[in-house]
Amino acid sequence: MVLKVAAEDSPLATVDEVVRVREYNEERDKVAVEKMERLCEMVGQRGKPSLVTDLLGDPKCRIRHFPTHIMLVALLYGEQKEIVGVIRGCVKKVTRGNSEFVKLAYILGLRVSPTHRRLGIGTKLIRHLEEWCKRKGAEYAYMATDCTNEASINLFTLKCSYQKFRTPTILVQPVHAHYKPIPSTITIVPLPACLAESIYRQIYANSEFFPEDIDAILSSALNLGTFMALPRKHLPKWNPQMSTFPPSAFAILSVWNTREVFKLQLKGVSKLTQACCVGSRLVDAWLPCLGLPSFPNVFKQFGVYFMYGLHAEGKQGLRLMKGLCNFVHNVGRDDHGCAAVLAEVSQRDPVREAIPHWRKFSWAEDMWCVKKLTEAKQPSDWINSRPSSTMIFVDPRDF
């Protein structure tokens, strides 16, 4: 389908420019897409510190782990044909609360060339992706962005009819040179994938966004494992190899190795700031007994671990969760390519208080916007309903 670009408050838009949206072809488009996305990152810095994402030479790597996914590109036909926009999306089945499942589309990775913005290209990419998602049976679509990203929020809410829906919190813990303490009264055990799946299906049955294919996530090569923290005195009474239910007091989480998907790098920071960060690492390494927090080397490419499925039960649950998060930090500390450990949870989730993080590097609100794609009548409207649980399951493949 060939679409003319509609002028949207821009004197640069002309009716002679024509845009065609089609599916990404790795052989033909890879170099052009990478070039355009690097240009978007360079323009986005504007002399300020900027976090740059490198998708490890594979523009589709963030969506390949979904069984149903697509990547679209926008080509501008003028004096020469060039790629001026890109968008990614997938379709999965998730809970909407109260054990009800719906087909949901996730939209991510929308980029438009800086020289062709405000011409309606982003809107057209979104609409083409929505049509594809509807053909795949999606009933709703959602996107996530930083609550301060007004341009993205306005595009989706004002032009594409999305509604602000949920605002979970992203918590970031830099990986220090020293190990974090784990109380001797806590035991941490790895769980078999089948047991982890069973426990998660019980815990998140009434939550939102829990994926039906949790088994595929837990068995993925990017999943570093699922771990449970227990009071040491409980361990002899509970065998993870034989049990089918969790004990009365525990904390659980899984770890996703995002550094195998993309690398991050902080650019635009002064040399003085970099020197101060190096100094903090030296002090941390020479005098670990002081437990001084250090700033990892984020000025070179680094990876992160993403913790998901975080849940705690019992009176000691939050203490167990803190110890479990420290355990993940220590694993990341031994992995020299990991500079931070992240988690994303609902603002009302009690476990939020037990997750170690630095406030300066965390996001108080990660804006999730949702749109209904079909006209089919349903027993209740998910978009306007209240959350059925204090928990939200954040799919690590979305991150």
> In the chain, what percentage of residues exceed pLDDT 70?
86
Compute the mean pLDDT over every residue in the chain, rounded to the nearest whole number: 86
- Supply 55's token pair: 């998708």
What pTM was estimated for this model as a whole? 0.88
Per-residue pLDDT tens digits for 103-144: 999 999 999 999 888 889 999 999 999 999 999 999 999 999
Q: Mean pLDDT lowest for which of 238-242, 283-287, 352-356, 391-395?
A: 238-242
What is the arithmetic mean of pLDDT over 135-160? 94
- Domains with residue ranges and CATH for the chain: 2-167 (3.40.630.30), 171-364 (3.40.630)
Does residue 9 register a pLDDT over 70? Answer: no
Does residue 170 register a pLDDT over 50? Answer: yes
Cα–Cα distance between 217 and 294 in angstroms, integer? 32
Per-residue pLDDT tens digits for 174-204: 998 888 999 999 999 999 999 999 999 999 9
Report angle CA 185, 191, 196 to the nearest 5 degrees.
120
131 vs 285, higher pLDDT:
131
Q: What is the dihedral of CA 139, 64, 391, 153, to 10 degrees?
A: -70
Q: How far apart, in Å, do the first and last CA atoms of the chain sit?
A: 31
> How much is the pLDDT for 13?
44
> In the chain, what percentage of residues exceed pLDDT 90?
57
Cα–Cα distance between 51 and 299 in angstroms, integer? 9
What is the arithmetic mean of pLDDT over 327-342? 92
61 vs 117, higher pLDDT:
117
- Supply 169's token pair: 């919190």
